[in-house]
Amino acid sequence: MKIVLVQTAPTRGDIAANLADHVAHINRAVAAGADLVIFPELSLTGYEPALAADLAMSPADARLDAFQQLSQEHNLIIGVGLPTRGETGLHISLVLFQPDGLRRAYHKRYLHADEEPFFISGPNFPTLTVAGMNVGLAICYELSIPEHALSAHEGGAALYLASVAKTAAGMDNAGQRLSEIARQYGIPALISNSVGPSDNFIGAGRSAIWDSDGRLSQALPADRPGMLVYDSETGRTEALVA
């Protein structure tokens, strides 16, 4: 299985521009042989909690049909970060577009305190099956919660994958934590981050992969968009920088 981690430089609140950028990245991922493409946290809108109420949409929104079409045309799963509207509030979600035509929403369960004025915790699932392999998913702060990684492990995760929006300091901490998860459970750990201005911070990029011994295999730059390709069968990684 080939996983492509996309590192974006989102335009604040501009869904149309970000969508076009996502499609361009997906087409490049298809050329790289991707089975799974994962974008950063709230990638489609940028990480903008104060704007989320105006930007939130349903996973069934017609503006997202381009992702569904690409998923079915190329037989791959695409995970896009966006705010979604639940019955009692807004969720930070990773919407998964699947070749069978179904759209699944993984909602962030463990929120950072700064997010609680804007979002509510939502239900999710411990693993996603891709090409016969169970992938443990996480959205940003969740990776710091031991129970979250344990749940993925108990669900049979063969690797752990986090979609995030983090600062340089946040990436330092995330790197240490993901290395620990990799060593503890003997599985690779991956992270997809954004670059550039978001909310009140600067996204620090450095999307990366750690092997099952917790060693850093490869990382993208801190200041440029790009993609990181991981082959789960060979362990080979490849950086594609814009």
| CATH superfamily ID and name for 2-241 | Carbon-nitrogen hydrolase (3.60.110.10)
For 162-188, what is each residue's pLDDT tens digit?
Answer: 999 999 999 999 999 999 999 999 999
Helices (H), the chain: 15-31, 52-55, 65-74, 146-154, 168-185
Q: Which residue has the tokens 């699947």?
A: 98
The H or E element that residue 134 is part of is strand 133-139
What pLDDT is recorded for position 242? 74
What pLDDT is recorded for position 212? 98
For 120-162, what is each residue's pLDDT tens digit?
Answer: 999 999 999 999 999 999 999 999 999 999 999 999 999 999 9
Three-class SS of residue 79? Answer: strand
Amino acid in position 217: S
Spatial distance between the Cα atoms of 179 and 208, rounded to a whole number of angstroms: 11
The H or E element that residue 36 is part of is strand 36-38
Region 9-25: mean pLDDT is 98
